[in-house]
Amino acid sequence: MAVAECDPDLVPKPAPKPAPLPPPPAKPRAVPPKPAPKPAPKPAARPVSAKVTLAADTHFDFDKAVIKPEGKKTLDGLVGKLKAVNLEVIIAIGHTDSIGSDAYNMKLSLRRADAVKAYLISRGVPANRIYTEGKGERQPIASNKTRDGRAKNRRVEIEVVGTRR
């Protein structure tokens, strides 16, 4: 009989061990569903700017800062439109023609703008949202050489800035 130590080629070799079995497949984990994407944000409301011009010859008497009934109707219409706006600011800018001194016209233009502000406040517009300015005769929109041109230059411009509701 052959002995493995003496004659290793003659001794039957033990059968090889079978290869280990692969581990069983892992149980699939429950994957939570992905959260729904957030809805796109609404675009920011664009500021709305509108300008109203009160002609001084029809809304104020010459050389006066008291609003006539026609001017009050125009301002009442403006107040009605403000209900559709998230108001940021109202700017009332008074202007005059070139008759009179520069200093006098500056004061008159500011008094007219202030009269518009007071009227708007009386109709419920917050005072802290209304700014006034007087430009006097410095920004004419027509020639001061003609009566018609001077009448066009006597005005209060009202700019409303806000966003639509």
d(CA 2, CA 154): 133
Query: Cβ atoms within 10 A of the Cβ of 37, count?
Result: 6
Lookup result for tokens 């300015």: 133
More confident residue, 44 or 73: 73
Lookup result for tokens 């001794």: 11
pLDDT in tens, 97-150: 999 999 999 999 999 999 999 999 999 999 999 999 999 999 999 999 998 888
d(CA 126, CA 154): 26
84 confidence band (pLDDT: 50, 70, 90): confident
Q: Are 111 and 65 in contact (CB under 8 A)?
A: yes
Domains with residue ranges and CATH for the chain: 47-164 (3.30.1330.60)
More confident residue, 14 or 74: 74
More confident residue, 119 or 162: 119
What sign has the CA pseudo-torsion 133, 137, 143, 144? positive
Global pTM reads 0.67
